[in-house]
Amino acid sequence: MGLVEAAGFSKASWGASGQAAEESRRYCGALEEGEILFFRQTPFPIPEAHKRFLLNVRQPNTAHHKNISYKPGRNRVLGFARGTADEATLVGIMHDYSQAVCNFVNALLLPYAGNWQLDYASFRPIEEEGRDLPVSKRNDLLHVDSFPTRPSNGNRILRVFTNLNPAESRIWLTSEPFQVWAERYGDSAGLPQIAAHSRSPAHQMLRRAVRLGQALGVPLTDRPPYDEFMLRFHHFMKNNSSFQKDCPKSRWEFPPGATWLVFTDMVPHAVLSGRFALEQTFFVSRNALLSPEKAPYRVLERLAGAPLTG
Ligand SMILES: [Fe+2]
């Protein structure tokens, strides 16, 4: 597992190139293997004035404001300390950034084009080194991503990061891909119990009731067994000190202006230092994958011997 540098991509030349489809499949294949797709320079436009604005945002270092998040569907920001910058300007900048990343992903990853659901974007202005956060929110512990409020039902979490910091690299650690750790720790993290519970009539009735409530507009979250496990595994990894200490690690320095893409539900990752990163999340449809057998939901279904999505 490592890093694949996408050196030649520029939207103008890419569209005209007959090799685009082939290269694009190579990039998707690398991502699905658990590689990081790396661009030394930001491959989509961010106006200089927007960068200047973002680099001047100051955010209190508290657990309440872990990041500034942007919800594209509602065109609003959350976690923003009011009064520290003009909110309407920030919303406009995040909107433009989110659009630019969507266009970029659709052009770069042709097999996924249109086969994703847009999730939140975020701006991370706080220095990551030495942050005082509860264990489950710590970014400096290796983990795979799972979102408590947005179950994916086996669709993939693809994240696009850009280091806006003009002077300092963003430092990451990664480890071996999900399958290795699911095989090693799946049982101790509760996979057999979750699989068995998912088959119980009581559990199925509860999920039907939740879905009925959702249809009636009640704000409930239906969490398929897959997401139940992934959320548990996210916490399990962060709390497992021998895994944190002993697992094989790769260290990455993402320089100023770099952009990188990774399936963070598959690649254990931790950020050690850096501030001023932009990030956009996508849920890529599991039906669009080139190698679905490598996807975490398929790995878990094989291990559990039972369906976990749906
Ligand atoms: Fe993460």
In this prediction, residue 18 carries a pLDDT of 66
Only one residue has tokens 């209190």, namely: 60
In this prediction, residue 197 carries a pLDDT of 86
Distance from the CA of 187 to the center of ligand 1, in angstroms?
22
Is 270 part of any domain?
yes
In this prediction, residue 16 carries a pLDDT of 59
Is 309 part of any domain?
no
Is 229 part of any domain?
yes
Quote the CA–CA distance of 42 and 54 in Å, as a whole number.
16
Distance from the CA of 265 to the center of ligand 1, in angstroms?
8
In this prediction, residue 200 carries a pLDDT of 83
Is 42 part of any domain?
yes
In this prediction, residue 136 carries a pLDDT of 84
Distance from the CA of 292 to the center of ligand 1, in angstroms?
22
In this prediction, residue 11 carries a pLDDT of 62
In this prediction, residue 19 carries a pLDDT of 72
- pLDDT tens track for 32-89: 999 999 999 999 999 999 999 999 988 777 656 678 999 999 999 988 877 767 899 9
Write out the residue range of the structural domain in which residue 272 sits. Answer: 3-304
Quote the CA–CA distance of 128 and 286 in Å, as a whole number.
32
Average pLDDT over the chain, rounded to an integer: 92
Query: What strands lie across the sheet with 250-254, from one edge to the other?
Result: 250-254, 170-174, 269-273
Banded model confidence at residue 227, pLDDT cuts 50, 70, 90: very high
Residue type, position 263, single letter: F
Is 181 part of any domain?
yes
Strands (E), the chain: 3-5, 36-39, 68-71, 76-78, 116-124, 156-163, 170-174, 250-254, 259-263, 269-273, 277-284
Distance from the CA of 109 to the center of ligand 1, in angstroms?
22
| CA Rg value for the chain | 19
Distance from the CA of 274 to the center of ligand 1, in angstroms?
14
Q: With 70 as the cut, is the pLDDT of residue 307 above it?
A: yes
Distance from the CA of 297 to the center of ligand 1, in angstroms?
18
Contact between residue 178 and residue 299 where contact means Cβ atoms under 8 Å apart? yes
In this prediction, residue 278 carries a pLDDT of 98
Helices (H) and strands (E) in the chain, counts: 10, 11
Distance from the CA of 206 to the center of ligand 1, in angstroms?
29
Q: How many domains does the chain divide into?
A: 1
Distance from the CA of 139 to the center of ligand 1, in angstroms?
7
Q: With 70 as the cut, is the pLDDT of residue 12 above it?
A: no
Distance from the CA of 294 to the center of ligand 1, in angstroms?
19
Distance from the CA of 124 to the center of ligand 1, in angstroms?
13
What's the CATH number where 64 sits?
2.60.120
- pLDDT tens track for 97-130: 999 999 999 999 999 999 999 999 999 999 999 8
In this prediction, residue 10 carries a pLDDT of 67
Quote the CA–CA distance of 117 and 133 in Å, as a whole number.
29
Distance from the CA of 234 to the center of ligand 1, in angstroms?
9
Q: Are strands 3-5 and 36-39 parallel, antiparallel or unpaired?
A: parallel
Sign of the dihedral through C-alpha 145, 197, 301, 106: negative
pTM of the model: 0.94
In this prediction, residue 210 carries a pLDDT of 83
